Amino acid sequence: MSDNESTARIISTDLQQEMSQSYLEYAMSVIVGRALPDARDGLKPVHRRILYAMHELGLSADRPFRKCARVVGDVIGKYHPHGDQAVYDALVRMAQDFSMREPLVDGHGNFGSIDNDPPAAMRYTECRLTAFAQTSLLQDIDANTVDFGDNYDGSQQEPLVLPTRIPQLLLNGSSGIAVGMATNIPPHNLGELVDGLIALIQNPNLTSLELMQWIPAPDFPTGALIMGQSGIREAYTTGRGSITMRGVATIETLEQRGRPTRDAIIITELPYQTNKAAMIEKIAEMVNEKRLEGIADIRDESDRDGMRVVIELKRDAQAQVVLNNLYKQTPLQANFGVNMLAILQGEPRTLTLRDSLQAFLDFRQEVIERRTRYELQKAEERDHLLQGYLLALAHLDRVIVLIREAADTATARAELQAVFGLSEAQADGILQMQLRRLTALESEKIQAEHEELVRRIADLRDILARRERVMQIISEELEQIKARFASPRRSQICLDDSELDTADLIENRETIIFLTEQGYIKRMGIEEFQVQGRATRGKAGARIKEDDAIEQFFACRSHDTILLFTDRGVVYTLRGYQVPQGSRTARGSAIVQLLPITREERITSMVPVSEFTDDEYLVMLTRGGYIKKTALSAFANVRSNGLIAISLEENDELRWVRRARSSDDVVMATRQGMSIRFRADDEQLRPLGRATRGVRAITLNPGDNLVSMDIISAESVMAAEQEGEGLANPWVLVITKAGRGKRSAIDNFRQQNRGGKGVIATKFRQDSDELAALRIVNAEDEIMLVTARGIVMRQAAKAIPTQSREATGVLVQRLDPEDSIVGVTVVPASFIGDPEEADEIVDGVSEED
C-alpha cells in the first residue's frame, strides 16, 4: 500500500453502550425536535416553522390569501426537512375551528370537517395568518426578543421560540407521541387564562387549586359538557388526570305530518375530537345488533348553522333510558386523558397548572426585557445622532465652511470629529443631512424629538430596573389581547352525581305511579286525570295486555324517594323522577330495567318518602298475617342491590307496607269484608330490626285472606275530636271489586287487641263481590280508582256518601263486563289545587244508587 493511500481504522467499542447512546440521542431528537411542545410558546417545531414562514411571506390577516402549497414548499425547503404531507396536515389543523380553541391560520377552501372528511389538496387551498396569531404570537419577533438558530443546512436562521403574548400551551393545547412518552394537553378559554395569569402576577404564591377560581376547567372548541371536577383537580395539581366529556343532547317531541308524535334525542354538541360520522355509524351498528334498544331512526341534519343529529325513538321507548345508554356505550360520552408534558429548559417535564402559567410568565418577562433593551439601544442610537444634529445646528456656519473646504467626504468626516468631538456615526449623519433640515422649523422638530427620546430612554431604563414595571406591562398586554379576542366559554361545567343531585334540575311536581302485575311501571302527571262525578266510567290510564292488570298505583312527588318492597322481603329504592314518564295509554317500562331484580320477583308495595325522620316507622304486613314495625331511618341508605326488610316464613310473602307513628292506629281488611283496628304503639307493636319476622296481626276465617292495610293518623283523629263533625273528620273508605263504595266513620271501628278476628267492614250486594281496598281518607281528599284493564277514575272523597259498617255502599265507578277494581289511592289535599271544583261535582250527586 502506497503512502498516498489512506488506511482504514477499526475502533473497538462496547455494542451495548453504543446502542444505548445512539438510541438515547435518537429519542431526545424526537422528543425535543418533533413530538413535544415547548412550554414557553406552546408550539412544536413544525407549527413554529409554519407560522414563521407565513410571517416571512407577509401573509398577514389584512393581505390576500396564498396557496398552501407555497407555504408548505417554503417550510420544507427552508426549515423542516420532513414530508410535505406532515407539514400540510399540521397547517390544516391550525385552521380548523373544531380542533383549535383559537385558530392560528385562516383557511380558504376545504380544510376538513368534524366528520373526519379529508381536506382538499394543498394546491387547491389557500391560507393566511389570523389576526390573533399575528398579534399574539409573532408581534415583536424582529425586536431581538427571541434567539435564532441555524436551520437544518445552515443556510437560514429560524426562531427557536416565538415571542408569544398568551400561554399558547394551555390555550390551544397539544398532543403528541414521542419515544417512551406522550403529551395530551386540553385547550382552555382565553379570557380565563388571562384572568388566572393576572391573579398569579398579583399573588405569586397561588397554588394550582387556588388558580381554579379563575381557570375552572378546560374549554373545548366543540363545546359539550365537562362532568365533575375531581379529574380536573387531579390534572391541574399533578399534571395527569382524566376529564369526562359528554355531548349536549336534548329530548324533543317531533310533530310529523300524518304520523303520531314521537320523542327524539337531538344532539347539538359532541365531545372534543369525536368523529360525528363514526359515532352515527356506531350507533346504527349497535341498533342493528340489538345492543341499543328503543331507536327507530338516525338522521344527520347538520348544516352551516350548526350540528343537529336526530335520533328518533320508538313509541314505547323511554328517552332518558336511551340517552343514558348512548352516554354509556357510544362516543357521546368520552374521557380526555390529560398528560401535561412539555419541554422546559431543554428537558421534558410534567407540568401542573401553576407550572405552566409560571413558565409562560418567566418567558414573557424575558421577552419584555429583551424587547426593552432592543428599544433602548435603538433610542440611544437615534438620540446620539440627534445630539450630533443639534451640535451642528448650533455651529452651523462653521460646519458649512468646514465641509466646503474639505477635499473629500473622508476628510470632512475626520475634521468634524476632530473639531466638534463627534463620533463617526454623528459625523456621517451630519454629512447626509438635507438642506431642508436646516430650516428653523426642522430644527425645532429635531429638538422636540431629542427631548422625547430623553424621556423615552429614562422610561426604558426604569422598566429594566424594576420588575414590577415588567409585570405591569405583561398584565396590560394580556388585558388588550383579552379585550380584542376573548370569547365566552363553550364547554359548560356540570358537577358529577356525587356533587349535584339530579333532583335539583327537575321540578318537584305531583305525579301518579302505576305498576302492573307483570312488572311494568310508569309515571304520569296528576293533571292527566280530571275530577269526575260518581258512577261514571273514568279514563284509560294504561294500555294493558290481555294477560296483565294494574296491581298498584299511588300519588307522590317527583323528588320523593320511593321504597319498593318485593314479595321476598327485599327493599329497593328509586327517586320519583327516575320512574319513566308515559302517556295515559302507554304500557310503561319493565321494572327489571330499573332495578336489579329477577323476573320471578314481584314488587308488592311502594312507599314514597320525602324525608327520613326518626319518629316514623314502616309497618309491614305479610299475606300470611304477620305484622311488624321497623324504624323508617333504617331504610335511609338502601344499597343498589337492595336491602333485607323482613324475614319471611316459607310460602309467605310481604304484601303491604305503610308509614306510621307510634300514636297511630293500624287498620286492615280481608277479602270477605272483615276488618281489625289496633294501636301501633310499643305495647301492640314493639319496634323490630330489619331481618325479623314480626307477630300475628289478625285471625282469618277459613278461605279468607288479607287484601288491604292502612294507617289512621292520631293527628287527624285529634283534630276531628276538637272540631267535631266536619270536613276534617277521617273516614274509612271501603271499595269493592264490583265498583261499589262507601265512607264510614272511624268510630264505627273500635280499637281491639292485635290478633283478633275483627268486625264487619262491609256487606256485599252480590255473593261474587269481594273487598278491593280499605283506605283512610279526609273529606277534602280525592281518590283515584284503577281497574284491572287500566281505567282510572279521579273523584272527590266527599262525593262518596257515608254509610254504616253493615251497608253495601253505592256505585262509585261504572265498570265494563269482566272488569273490576284492583286499586285505590288517596290524593292528599296538599296535591289538589282548587277544591271548589270538587264541591260543584258533589252538589249533583244523589245518595241513591
Residue of 91, 114, 104 lying closest to 60 (CA atoms): 104
The Cα-based distances of 260 to 256, 298, 311, 315 in angstroms read 7, 17, 16, 9
Q: How far apart are the first and last CA of the chain?
A: 135
- CA–CA separation, 491 vs 22, rounded Å? 45
* Residue type, position 819, single letter: D
- Tell me the pairing of strands 626-631 and 791-796: unpaired
Residue of 79, 593, 128 lying closest to 320 (CA atoms): 593
- CA–CA separation, 293 vs 286, rounded Å? 9
- Give the cell for residue 414: 475626520
* Residue type, position 663, single letter: S
Q: How many residues in total does the chain contain?
A: 849
- CA–CA separation, 805 vs 715, rounded Å? 23
For 349, other C-beta atoms within 10 Å of its C-beta total 16
124 is catalytic: yes
Q: Given the C-alpha cell 252538589, which residue does it identify?
A: 843
Residue of 234, 229, 227, 198 lying closest to 216 (CA atoms): 229
**Strand, coil or helix: 4:** coil
HSE-up (13 A, CA, CB side) for residue 80:
27
The Cα-based distances of 433 to 425, 428, 429, 437, 631 in angstroms read 12, 9, 6, 7, 103
- Tell me the pairing of strands 759-760 and 674-679: antiparallel
Q: Given the C-alpha cell 440521542, which residue does it identify?
A: 25
Contacts of 8 (CB under 8 A, 6+ apart): none
For 505, other C-beta atoms within 10 Å of its C-beta total 9
Q: Given the C-alpha cell 312488572, which residue does it identify?
A: 519
With 0-12 / 13-18 / 19 or more C-beta atoms within 10 angstroms meaning exposed / middle / buried, residue 516 is buried
Residue of 439, 593, 438 lying closest to 521 (CA atoms): 593
- Give the cell for residue 262: 314521537
Can you say how many angstroms the Cα of residue 31 is from the centroid of all Cα atoms in its chain? 34
Residue of 492, 495, 484 lying closest to 190 (CA atoms): 484
Residue of 757, 23, 41 lying closest to 344 (CA atoms): 41
The Cα-based distances of 669 to 607, 618, 699, 710, 791 in angstroms read 19, 18, 11, 9, 24
DSSP notation for 30-96: HIIIIIS-BTTT---HHHHHHHHHHHHTT--TTS--EEHHHHHHHHHHHT--S-HHHHHHHHHHTT-
Instruction: Report, in angstroms and rounded to the nearest whole number, the Rg of the chain calculated over CA atoms.
Output: 42
Residue of 708, 704, 712 lying closest to 660 (CA atoms): 712
Q: Which of 124, 520, 617, 626 is catalytic?
A: 124
- Tell me the pairing of strands 492-494 and 225-227: parallel
E strands in 125-239: 126-129, 148-150, 157-159, 174-177, 182-185, 225-227
- CA–CA separation, 813 vs 13, rounded Å? 103
Which residues are identified as catalytic? 124
